[in-house]
Structure 1
Amino acid sequence: MTVHRPTGTMRRRVRLSDIAEAVGCSVNTVSRALTGKDSVSPATRAQVMAEAERLGYVPNHQARSLVLGSTRTVGLVITNPSNTLYAGLISSVELRCRALGYTVMLLATEESPESERVAAESLLHAGVDSALAVPVQAEAGHWERLRRAGIDLVFVSRELPGMNVDFVGIDNEHGAYQSTAHVLEAGARVVWALEEDLPISTVRQRRDGYLRAIADHAADPDSARVLSVPTRRRDSLTLPWQAEEAYRLAKRLLAEADLPDAFVTGNDYFALALIRALTEHGLRVPDDVLVVGYGDHPYAGYLTPTLSSVALPATELGTTAVDVLMRRTAEPDAPTTRHLIAPHLIPRESTRR
């Protein structure tokens, strides 16, 4: 049996002492020069930086973390990265953290309580300084363990009852109120809502906004109807929503019941499926039925008809969440805060008669 061994040698990691020897100064001076301390002359700093570049020096952040007691890492736990809101959230959190000198550790739970528990354990073992999380909303034990370990925590988008932590979210009740009031003011008398069947705070908030708008604007408040669309996320985790289920529900409605004048939906996927079902049934949007989406997906302005939708402030959501987390780190004993960011309705052809 022939054993093949590498003929080259592994290159040793460049150390501060290597730079110090090359420049002719102390390790302490090299360290101060690389970290921007004022006690080093500009000429020495330039010489140290040039030598570090030549030697290929890479800072040992793990060793530095042991000295400082901080990893400069923020954990970000989300439910599904293919959700356009959370995709925007990831980008804005990463950009904001990078500007502040932090790196981001991203974990996805796919609406699974067990995956969420594993994610929380991963954050503990990674030694992150703090974490932002979109909770699955099953239970809070693993999040409490994170806090007991001294990791600052801010919930984003969804609230978890019983946990007194900072929260940054979207005013979904206001968003659903806007979309419902919009179609009622456009002449609709009966408006139905298509919503997800997940027991999460964002769905409850949209339902509350819809019902409040019906109470304030509808000619017949008893006409309110919230239809739950089966959400198979736990069976098919690669998509945040299944338009197919909304399409099937719409086909059943068309076969079994008189339709309302307008539909407001919990996301743009449902609106897309609804418009297809209505069109196949010989109905025209918006001439026969008005339709409003939620989330303002990039395709919303390119459909036929273009889709009225509620735009969600993903960038502001992420930036605010990081800022709240940094304030919590700086003031660990400060009272918890709750921040709601208002979405805004973008009217398009699907509600323009």
Structure 2
Amino acid sequence: MTADMNDLARYCGVSITTVSRALRNKGEISKETREKVLAAAKELNYMPNLPARILAGGHSNTVGLIVADNSNPYYAELIHGAEDCAKDYGYGVILYNTNEDDQLELKGHQMLLENRVGGLLITSITSGKQPLIELNKRKIPFVLLNRFLEDYPTDWVRSNNELGAYQIIQHLCSKGYKRILHITGSETISSVRERQTGYINALKENGCDVDPNLIYRCDLNLESGYKSTLKAFRELDPAPTAIFAYSDLLAIGVLKALHELGKKVPADVALAGYDNIEYSPFIEPPLTTVDQFAYEIGSEGMKILIEKINLPEDEEWQPKQIILDPELCVRESSG
């Protein structure tokens, strides 16, 4: 049998208002009273009346997760980390996919807020900082995952994308590859800019020319990786001796194109991806890549978000920014 707020108030000998403040960790009550109410809630198997809370202008024990592409195995792992963490704290997750489309992104914000989520985890910010400014104005907690805006500091958890790309190019250069094609996405995406910077810096350090013709931009999916590779080998002379793809998903498309062109990997062209998705060790040849620990990014971001949601009203939030160091995974595709 479950208890409601009236039961807790009678059991603890306090008002319903005090019980509400203790459960929401908001308002001016003593630490002793808060702990007493929370202990009673556990003992009596308290169950919140979520519809009533929402009607009263509050939020449910759900959070929204806006992802750029839920068909990408990288995001599946990130979602897994976020959901596991949310369950530990008694929260549910509503997922919204944008396909890196700014209009879908804005619709996602609107839909999730209409569902009175407690806060947002966001991996897609192609619409810029204005939606984030609006969230702040409405006092909606949010955390960015593997994205950030240089001109709008806020909470985020991300991998050191510049370092990861730098490690890959250093590895390829150490193998003797000098003409390295980079297949990547739009510069509106912060991780694209970061990885491109790492790519360029490593080339310069190894005495390689930075040729803008060796940077191909496309949508971040399998087909685009495939088509960009075919296009590059039609247009570039001399042809690249190695390819660094923005993601493992792109790299799989690249690999199909190279097979069709009769190019052996790595004998004719070396190949490296990024993300270390579950399939990377199992394709042929196994893919050299970078692990950016997507599960941990999702989990750490959720911890910060739940902490923000439950911040007492009388406390000021101190922004949190976490950078995880990536790990180079060398396999057969790079020689």
TM range (shorter): 0.7 to 0.9
TM alignment of 1:262-301, pairs within 5 A? 262-301=242-281
Aligned length: 309
Give the match's secondary structure for 1:206: helix
- Which of 207, 211, 220 matches 2:208? 220
Task: Kindly state the Cα deviation for residue 185 of structure 1 after the two structures are TM-superposed.
Answer: 0.8
Task: Kindly state the Cα deviation for residue 141 of structure 1 after the two structures are TM-superposed.
Answer: 2.9
**In 2: Cα distance, 1:303 partner to 1:326 partner:** 38
Q: Tell me if the contact between 2:66 and 2:97 (Cα under 8 Å) persists in the aligned partners.
A: yes
Q: Tell me if the contact between 1:215 and 1:221 (Cα under 8 Å) persists in the aligned partners.
A: yes
TM alignment of 1:296-307, pairs within 5 A? 296-307=276-287
**In 1: Cα distance, 2:320 partner to 2:86 partner:** 20
**In 1: Cα distance, 2:286 partner to 2:232 partner:** 23
Give the stretch that moved more between structures: 278-287 or 300-309. 278-287
The amino acid of 1:344's aligned partner reads: E
Paired position in structure 1 for 2:31: none
Paired position in structure 1 for 2:141: 152
Q: Tell me if the contact between 1:192 and 1:224 (Cα under 8 Å) persists in the aligned partners.
A: no
**In 1: Cα distance, 2:185 partner to 2:39 partner:** 60
Q: Is the alpha carbon distance of 1:121 and 1:244 closer, same or farther for their aligned partners in structure 2, counting shifts above 3 Å?
A: closer
TM alignment of 1:223-242, pairs within 5 A? 223=211, 225-231=213-219, 241-242=220-221
- Which of 316, 319, 329 matches 1:336? 319
Paired position in structure 1 for 2:173: 184
TM alignment of 1:7-46, pairs within 5 A? 28-29=10-11
Task: Kindly state the Cα deviation for residue 204 of structure 1 after the two structures are TM-superposed.
Answer: 0.6
The amino acid of 1:129's aligned partner reads: G
1:312 aligns with 2:292: yes
- Which of 215, 226, 251 matches 2:230? 251
1:219-268: CA deviation from partner (whole Å, max 9, x where unpaired): 3334575422432xxxxxxxxx4333332332233334212321111112
1:92 aligns with 2:81: yes
Q: Tell me if the contact between 1:167 and 1:337 (Cα under 8 Å) persists in the aligned partners.
A: yes
Give unpaired runs (5+ residues) of structure 1: 1-13, 53-57, 232-240
Q: TM-score, normalised by structure 1?
A: 0.76
Paired position in structure 2 for 1:321: 301
Q: Is the alpha carbon distance of 1:283 and 1:90 closer, same or farther for their aligned partners in structure 2, counting shifts above 3 Å?
A: closer
Q: Tell me if the contact between 1:130 and 1:153 (Cα under 8 Å) persists in the aligned partners.
A: yes
TM alignment of 1:95-106, pairs within 5 A? 95-106=84-95
TM alignment of 1:166-205, pairs within 5 A? 166-197=155-186, 199-205=188-194
Q: Is the alpha carbon distance of 1:181 and 1:125 closer, same or farther for their aligned partners in structure 2, counting shifts above 3 Å?
A: same
1:118 aligns with 2:107: yes
Give the match's secondary structure for 1:136: coil
1:62-103: CA deviation from partner (whole Å, max 9, x where unpaired): 235678955333222222211222211211111111111222
Q: Is the alpha carbon distance of 1:242 and 1:73 closer, same or farther for their aligned partners in structure 2, counting shifts above 3 Å?
A: closer
Larger Rg: 1
Task: Kindly state the Cα deviation for residue 188 of structure 1 after the two structures are TM-superposed.
Answer: 1.4
1:252-298: CA deviation from partner (whole Å, max 9, x where unpaired): 33334212321111112332233333333333211222111112232
Q: Which of 1 and 2 has higher RCO (CA within 8 Å, sep 6+)?
A: 2
Give the CA RMSD over aligned residues: 3.3
Q: Tell me if the contact between 2:66 and 2:122 (Cα under 8 Å) persists in the aligned partners.
A: yes
Task: Kindly state the Cα deviation for residue 105 of structure 1 after the two structures are TM-superposed.
Answer: 2.5
**In 1: Cα distance, 2:221 partner to 2:115 partner:** 34
